[in-house]
Amino acid sequence: MKESLFQEFPDVPAEQWKDQIKQDLKGASYDEKLIFRSLDGIAVQPFYTSADVKDHMQLPPPLPWRICEKINVTSAGEGNTPAAKALQKGAESLWLHISSEDVEPDVLFEGFNLENLQVHLSFSFFSPDYVERLKSYFKNKNTEVYLQLDVLGNLAATGKWFFDQKRDFKVLKSVTETTPYFTSTVSVNGDLYQNAGASIPQQLAFSLAHVNEYLNLMCQKGEKQDQFQPQFILATGSNYFFEIAKIRALRLLYASLAKEYGLPKTCFILAQPSQRDKTLYDYNVNLLRSTTQCMSAVLGGADAVSNQPYDLLFHKDSSFGRRIARNQLLVMKHEAYFDKVANPADGAYYIEHLTHEFANKALEIFKQIEEEGGYLELLLKGELQKRIKESAQKEQQLFDEGKLVLIGTNKFENSQDLMTQELEFDPFAKTSSEDTLIEPLFPVRLSEKLEQERLKKEQGILTES
């Protein structure tokens, strides 16, 4: 007969622990001393027990995660070489951003073993003719192809439709219905919200409302329901445990929404590090930031993780930067064994509780968005942008006051660190035009203002010398 190892010890309820802690505080306030209140509206307790996760819905184990490498493709020949090298050096999937319809698939993928290869394709254009060319090329090749077609994401990022609202949706619907050759055709660029400064519940709610617009379009009653398989693109920030919980919460939220439409409850999540906390000065610290952010993505259950070069902000694309980014993921998988446990966050009371806290808060925001007319209406009114801007300003204030720290930038900065000669392009450039339909959601880094001030001082010193 097996006996419990700790059966001789009585269960201690949470209230008893709390009473003991209050005694040890000797009159100091429990709430003020030990409860952390985040900008996301989460009150983090000093300890959690099984009671905090009682009756919580469990997530199914995710599929093994893949190392994904992103490459900007300006021409088929120039894209072929780095893509082939990435696969040779350990990447397990490709994320190719195609900038022109002149990029021929047969040239781009020449020499590749396409059997079971996972390929993510994003575009600077929106062309049903190009999708047809891709369909013809990948037909019968047994390649796992994800087309990242996101007309709402394009509207949010650029302030404009590709064509106009009616045509964009019509083309998207027709592409989705006629292309069963692809694993997925529709993506939700949730990274837009994180990089613009949205809180975690906002990121989740806006991503859910975003995909709901597509569900309303694609999955009307009486139509076949199994063609819609979305991909979520997320950016992971610097709050390690919160970001693990964020990805898990998204899976719960999407499963709940998909159930209402009679769809499979699974979705594909492609994660990458945030731009928001990356810096010009002491830029090697970006390696540490992106490492923990990729770890959050893996432990949260992302299906694929794409890392970014540490010098992405100011150096042109280089094989060295891509190699370092790739190697960070290779170390996680092959030396830290981050692929050996199917769902490592399961059973951690803190993460389980955070997951459901984020899901519940996001669901409240999502319901409010739907009551106010839905995602698109709020975006066109500028209301969604306003709410993200308010969240971003709160976080920016903490950074400006030194309460939110970026090492090497607003704490322990090296005054001898000079960057003027390192810049290969403008790291602060924002592209917009007067004819935008709405205010775009631009990525905003916390350190931009401080960096601009330092660069001005540098240039003044250089001019004097």
Query: What is the Cα–Cα distance from 146 to 184, expressed in whole angstroms?
Result: 5
Q: Binning pLDDT at 50, 70 and 90, where does residue 459 land?
A: confident
372: left (phi over 0), alpha (psi -120 to 50) or beta: alpha
Cβ neighbours for 227, distance < 8 A, ≥ 6 positions apart = 176, 177, 180, 218
304-306 and 66-73: which strand pairing?
parallel
Which one has a higher pLDDT value, 384 or 342? 384
For the cut 90, the answer to whether the pLDDT of residue 389 exceeds it is yes
The predicted pLDDT at position 54 comes to: 80
Q: Binning pLDDT at 50, 70 and 90, where does residue 346 land?
A: confident
Mean pLDDT estimate for the chain: 92
The predicted pLDDT at position 432 comes to: 67
Query: What is the Cα–Cα distance from 438 to 447, expressed in whole angstroms?
Result: 26
pLDDT tens-place string over residues 267-310: 999 999 999 999 999 999 999 999 999 999 999 999 999 999 99
Alpha-carbon distance values, 252 to 58, 149, 150, 247, 326 (Å)? 9, 23, 22, 9, 29
Mean pLDDT score, 56-67: 83
Cβ neighbours for 254, distance < 8 A, ≥ 6 positions apart = 208, 211, 230, 232, 265, 267
For the cut 80, the answer to whether the pLDDT of residue 460 exceeds it is no
Q: Binning pLDDT at 50, 70 and 90, where does residue 52 land?
A: confident
Q: Binning pLDDT at 50, 70 and 90, where does residue 462 land?
A: low
The predicted pLDDT at position 222 comes to: 42
Query: What is the Cα–Cα distance from 210 to 243, expressed in whole angstroms?
Result: 20
pLDDT tens-place string over residues 223-260: 555 667 899 999 999 999 999 999 999 999 999 999 99
CA angle 41, 44, 47 (to 5 degrees): 160
The predicted pLDDT at position 115 comes to: 92
For the cut 80, the answer to whether the pLDDT of residue 2 exceeds it is no
pLDDT tens-place string over residues 156-182: 999 999 999 999 999 999 888 877 789
Q: Which fold has domain 66-356?
A: TIM Barrel (3.20.20)
The predicted pLDDT at position 223 comes to: 52
Mean pLDDT score, 29-47: 90
Q: Binning pLDDT at 50, 70 and 90, where does residue 429 land?
A: confident
Q: What is the pTM of this model?
A: 0.94
Mean pLDDT score, 446-458: 95
The predicted pLDDT at position 212 comes to: 97
For the cut 90, the answer to whether the pLDDT of residue 154 exceeds it is yes
Which one has a higher pLDDT value, 223 or 350? 350
Mean pLDDT score, 47-58: 82
Mean pLDDT score, 24-31: 90
